Amino acid sequence: MSLPRSTTDVLVVGGGPAGLAAAAQAAAAGLMVTLVDERVTLGGQIYKRVGPGFAVEDPRAIGRDYAAGNHLIAAVDSPRIDVRLRTTALAIEGMTVILCADESHTVAVEAERIVLAPGAYDRPVAFPGWTLPGVLTAGGAQTLVKTQGVLPGERIVFAGSGPVALAFPAQLHHLGAGVVTVCEAGPPPGPSDVAAMLRAAAGNLSLLRDAIGYRAELLRARIPLRYGRIVVAAEGDGRIEAVVHAAVDREWRVIPGSEERVACDALCLGYGFLPSVELPRLAGCALDEDEDLGGAVVRLDEWMRTTVPNIHAAGDGTGVEGSLVAIDEGRLAALGVAMDLGALTREAAEERARPLRRRLRQRSAFRSALRRMHRVGPGIYELSTPDTMICRCEELTRARIDPAIAASTDPGVVKGLTRAGMGLCQGRNCERTIAALIARRHGLELASLPPTNPRLPARPVSLGAIADQEIEDHGFFTAAAEPRD
Amino acid sequence: MRRATLPAGVRRGPAVTVNVDGTPRQAHLGETVAAALMADGGPAVRVTRGGEPRGIYCGMGVCFECLVVVDGVPNTRACMTWIRDGMDIRHMDGLAAAGLTKENDHDA
């Protein structure tokens, strides 16, 4: 198959914080960069822009994030950087990446080095009613509110864990939305947590200040913040009308008899994020397992090199640590690329890397300090009943998948037997839940289960887009249209 | 469901008319189809082959739950599609929108 081809020094996949920072840093070292992103605008999820047609007269009004995004996006406006939007990476073969542009045609880009910065998505949590309209991920709800000015409901319940469980309800309230309850699965901060946070405060004061501000805003608005509680069911006819939440133990396992029902018209779920590891997996990069960083994480060295030669990776797509870490990782990856390609001396790269590494250590210390409170408990994967939809795309309930889980400890076999994970989302919403169900049924560690085989294409694509545009018609099609005698 | 007050300093795009299931409705340039539907009718956008209601879920192109028919093209992600003046939007009802029946749906 003949594809239009081009070459570049560095191909950066993903235009979020890590990809933007990597592209700008590589170009600053004199390299030619191609930066691709599947969305219409740069910025990724966190720095998502408002829609075309909206006018931003004062970027400060939308908050610090928006201004920071503007800064990063402006830095890739360079003659050395070829920015391609609405462009999705479908496959990696050696150092050639197959891209689908505008959902209509495919092209190939061959690069000296590749930086993968695919980002992350909200951790899916299967519980009775989670497929009801009105149940949204925190990311989805945030996009609606922040970049579209549309509220997901009038009476919103937020359930989740981590800094976002404070930040997002406060932002929603600020925009005039009614937030009826916030459930944080983790415990409230105790004296030892506060002490740990203060010890790790160096370089992280703004994060601490934000958390305190959001907490105060919720208090002022009299929005109940319920620690140690998780949503166990969403109920409604055709759309959500109520949620049931319950107390959990330290492992996030439900304490029977503690259930409470609250009426609502929207439920936002923010239990952290999972890295989008489809592309690193397709490229053959070694992965490790770390539930706190989102499960499957990409194994990296000190220059963000993956285990596959000449392929680097950075940002939340390699393990979820937030946008500030992603930016520094993106820069570090680009410095490594520039050094390896001879565009920077080792000394120059090391010198530029030093402050980045120091900041990354500080962030890592802060994350450790929060670990007791926001560690994801295994109970999160134990909320389904036999009737609960596990694979949303193929419409498979747990009862339909259970026999396969009983028969095999291999997630790939369960997928093959049931079709769970073969739908349009390609398993991103059920694979980890199914792996956890297998682990529990057979008494195994979730981390010990092999992932299913990566499959092409990394994203669904129409046949027309991958068909060879210059294919020679041997008359098969005309033959069908005009039968011969 | 409603359009929230945007922060001061941000202005919504111009109002345009779109067709939702054959009825003229107002939306704004710069909104995704998902946001416009959410603001004017709520979160439910389709019924699955199995007859389940589904709505806007991930909002970022990952989950393929917010599929609608846009200008005749079925299985279009509402969250990844910008509103255009005169756009024809239809909620998807099981197989019907894709021109399939139980008999010719090989996946069923």
| A155 → chain B, closest CA residue | B1
Q: Which residue has the tokens 């993968």?
A: A116
Q: What is the pTM of this model?
A: 0.92
CB contact under 8 A, B44 and A239: yes
Q: What is the spatial distance between Cα A405 and Cα A38, in angstroms, rounded to a whole number? A: 35
- The mean pLDDT values, 10 residues at a time, for chain A of 485 residues are 88 98 98 96 88 82 79 96 96 96 92 97 96 96 88 94 85 86 91 82 79 85 94 97 97 97 97 94 94 91 98 96 94 98 97 96 85 86 97 97 97 96 93 96 92 87 78 55 43
The pLDDT score that the predictor gives to residue B4 is 72
Measured distance CA(B108)–CA(B104) in Å, rounded: 9
Smallest Cα distance from B45 to chain A, Å: 8
Closest to B35 in 3D by CA, of B70, B73, B81: B81
Closest CA to A373 of A225, A222, A236, A181: A225
Of the candidates A375, A405, A121, the one whose C-alpha atom is nearest the C-alpha of residue A269 is A121
Residues with Cβ within 8 Å of A15's Cβ and at least 6 positions away in sequence, in order, are: A35, A36, A37, A39, A42, A43, A44, A76, A83, A85
**Which residue, A195, A273, A266, A278, is CA-closest to A231?**
A266
Helices and strands (H, E) in chain B, number of each type: 1, 9
**What is chain B's mean pLDDT, rounded?**
87
Strand partners, A274: A121
Tell me which chain B residues have a C-beta less than 8 angstroms from the C-beta of A274. Answer: none
Our measurement of the distance from residue A157's CA atom to the centroid of its chain's CA atoms, rounded to an integer in Å, reads 22
CA pair distance A336, A324, nearest whole angstrom: 19
**DSSP conformation letters of A407-465:** H-S-HHHHHHHH-TT-STTTTTTTHHHHHHHHHHHHT--GGGSPPPPP-S-SS---HHH
Model confidence band, residue B99 (pLDDT cutoffs 50, 70, 90): low
Q: Rg (Cα) of chain A, in Å, rounded?
A: 23
What residues in B contact A140, CB-CB < 8 Å? 56-60, 79
| Residue A80: strand pairing partners | none
Task: Round to whole Å and give the CA distance between A41 and A63.
Answer: 18
What pLDDT score was predicted for residue A137? 96
Smallest Cα distance from B91 to chain A, Å: 13
**If you ran DSSP here, which 8-state letter would residue A321 be given?**
-
C-alpha closest to that of A163 among A145, A138, A146, A136:
A138
Q: Please give the Cα distance from A117 to A42 (Å, whole number).
A: 13
Give chain B's domains with CATH numbers: 15-98 (3.10.20.440)
Q: Do residues A225 and A157 lie in contact, with contact meaning Cβ atoms separated by under 8 Å? A: no
Of A389, A411, A336, A330, residue with least CA distance to A117? A330
* Chain A nearest CA to B90, separation (Å): 17
CB A230 within 8 A of CB A159: yes
Whole-angstrom distance, CA of residue A36 vs CA of residue A143: 21
Query: What average pLDDT does range B46-71 have in this prediction?
Result: 94
Q: Do A151 and B60 touch (CB under 8 A)?
A: no
| Beta-carbon separation of B3 and A51 below 8 A | no
Please report the pLDDT score of residue A480 as a whole number: 44
The answer to whether B70 contacts chain A (CB < 8 Å) is: no
> Cβ A148–B31 below 8 Å, yes or no?
yes
3-state secondary structure of A37: coil
CA distance readout (Å), A420 to A2, A126, A360, A462, B19: 34, 14, 38, 21, 35
Using CB atoms and an 8 Å cut-off, which of residues 5-34 of chain B contact chain A? 5-14, 28-32, 34
